[in-house]
Amino acid sequence: IYEENELLQGKLDILSKTNMVDYAIDIRKQLYPKQEVPETLKNRRVQVLSQLQELQNEVAPILKLLSDEVAMKTMETLRDSKALLNFLTKEHDFKVELMDSLFKLAKYRYECGNYSVPTSYLYFYIYLNAIQTMCPHILRYLATAVIINRSRRSALKDLVKVIQQESYTYRDPITEFLEHLYVNFDFDGAQCSPRN
């Protein structure tokens, strides 16, 4: 329906307003194979990479922590948020103020077209803290939604991890059922749990 060059030009127009400079350069090379890449694009690439490096340097302690498997496993086992914060600050030079910078880095990487890495940053940043502090009872509704909705079955693993972490502060028949079934593999306990 459309000419390839029109589509490429449309992509280039859109990409010129983003931080996806490498992709814009590739599209430009397809559109104008005999022309050199303009200096403005080269300079923009240097600027984007410089900003990315600056953001990464700001949150270096957190990035180091995220790549440390032993520390991540320890974090998963710590159930108390105060104990977790003490562990992070004493053992890994963690500062709560860095979380805003981590969010900025995740957003910047996302704007550059890197979608998988920011997801892991945001996982570290957001969802468990909200459940822990504001409304642990929402686990009941979240568990019900995951069980009922077939398209959300992939979230079951994450849900079970959260239920396991929060089991010491919040319990109800639905979360107990899932804990018996998926954590303890106690089928008799799971069968009795909804009845109680």
Give the model confidence (pLDDT) of 151-190 as tens digits. Answer: 666 677 777 777 777 766 667 777 788 787 777 787 787 7
Average pLDDT over residues 62-73: 81
| Cα–Cα distance, 157 to 27 (Å, whole number) | 39
* pLDDT tops 80 at residue 47: yes
Residue type, 158: D
What count of residues does the chain have?
A: 196
pLDDT band at 51 (very low <50, low <70, confident <90, very high): very high
- For residue 151, the model assigns a pLDDT of 65
End-to-end CA, the chain: 63
Amino acid at 166: E
Rounded CA separation 156/73 (Å): 19
The pLDDT, as a whole number, for residue 34 is 93
The better pLDDT of the pair 75, 101 is held by 101
Q: Which amino acid is at 156?
A: L
Radius of gyration, alpha carbons of the chain: 23
DSSP symbols for 55-90: HHHHTHHHHHHHT-HHHHHHHHH---HHHHHHHHHH
Residue 46: predicted pLDDT: 96
Separation of alpha carbons 185 and 128, rounded Å:
24
Is residue 81's pLDDT more than 90?
no
Predicted confidence at residue 127, as pLDDT, reads 44
Distance, CA of 123 to CA of 22 (rounded, Å): 27
Residue 9 confidence (pLDDT): 92
**39-58 vs 21-31: helix crossing angle, rounded to 10:** 160
Q: Amino acid identity, residue 165?
A: Q
pLDDT tier at 136, thresholds 50, 70, 90: low
Q: What is the rounded CA–CA span in Å between residue 138 and residue 107?
A: 27
Closest CA to 29 of 47, 42, 44: 42
